[in-house]
Chains A and B, each alone.
Chain A
Amino acid sequence: GIQVEQSPPDLILQEGANSTLRCNFSDSVNNLQWFHQNPWGQLINLFYIPSGTKQNGRLSATTVATERYSLLYISSSQTTDSGVYFCAVGANFGNEKLTFGTGTRLTIIP
């Protein structure tokens, strides 16, 4: 099956700093999603981005499908950005199973 690796595993930043999270995957995908898991366990959808670039406020994401990686950018970090960020991929669009990476734990210090 598809392998998903995320880096770095842990990231500690001062409030206001910028960060880049990386997701590498081992095979072609038609589905790639980024999630933020809050301290209560809720997975919050950030982006559906199997290719290209998207932006939503302070967050943006880029996926280079031909090189099998995706990047999540967080600018001007806030303490509410703390949590675990997951990348998940699927071989088929939409409804097929998602394979998750092991996540990046982001801690923003005031």
Chain B
Amino acid sequence: DAGVTQSPTHLIKTRGQQVTLRCSPKSGHDTVSWYQQALGQGPQFIFQYYEEEERQRGNFPDRFSGHQFPNYSSELNVNALLLGDSALYLCASSSPGNTQYFGPGTRLTVL
């Protein structure tokens, strides 16, 4: 049984560009959450998707958007990249009444 998968593993972009990160949830999970982890800090909640809708959102600007597909996979889009967007982006999946399981992350570097 595959766990949560994310792609790509690493990504380098320049300021002002746009990026799309992808996540496939663990089998049987229908909820996907995205977190941003800056260097030396704990992960911070960006948003959560359930039934293809954004169910909850953290304190992140509208430059951060997402999507969930009918197969429960999800994308995180970030527009107009800033240097401060450099971080490890983590995806977590879960099913109702159960804990969240995390993928290996995508490390984004903005130059």
Among the 9-residue stretches B67-75, B76-84, B101-109, the one with 4 or more Cβ atoms under 8 Å from chain A is B101-109
Q: Which residues of A contact B55 (CB under 8 A)?
A: 95
Q: How far is the CB of A26 from chain B (nearest CB, A)?
A: 15
In the bound complex, residues from chain B placing their C-beta under 8 Å from that of A98 are 33, 35, 43, 45, 92, 100
Closest to B55 in A: A95
Given contacts A41-B107, A42-B104, A95-B50, contact A100 B44 (CB under 8 A): yes
Q: Does any Cβ of A come within 8 Å of B24's Cβ?
A: no
B31 contacts which chain A residues (CB < 8 A)? 95
Q: Which residues of B contact A35 (CB under 8 A)?
A: 102
Interface of B, helix, strand, loop or mixed by DSSP: strand
Say yes or no: B88 contacts A41, CB within 8 Å.
yes
Chain A interface residue count: which class?
A: 20 to 34
With A and B bound together, what is the CA distance between A45 and B102 in angstroms?
A: 8
Q: CB of A69 within 8 A of chain B?
A: no
Residue from B42, B96, B104, B105 within 8 A of A95 (CB atoms): B96
A75 at the interface (CB under 8 A from B): no
Q: Which of A4, A93, A97 contacts B48 (CB 8 A)?
A: A97
- Could you say which residues of chain B place their CB within 8 Å of the CB of A42? 102, 104-105
Answer whether A33 and B43 are a contact pair too, CB < 8 Å, given A95-B31, A97-B33, A97-B48. Answer: no
Given A33-B100, A93-B97, A94-B98, verify A99-B48 contact (CB < 8 Å): no
**B94 at interface, CB cutoff 8 A:** yes
B104 and A41 contact, CB distance less than 8 A: yes
Chain B residues at the A interface, C-beta cutoff of 8 Å: 31, 33, 35, 37, 41-45, 48, 50, 55-56, 58, 88, 90, 92, 94, 96-102, 104-105, 107
List 8 A-B residue pairs with CB atoms under 8 Å apart, sorted by A's residue number: A33-B99, A41-B104, A42-B102, A42-B104, A88-B43, A96-B48, A97-B45, A98-B100
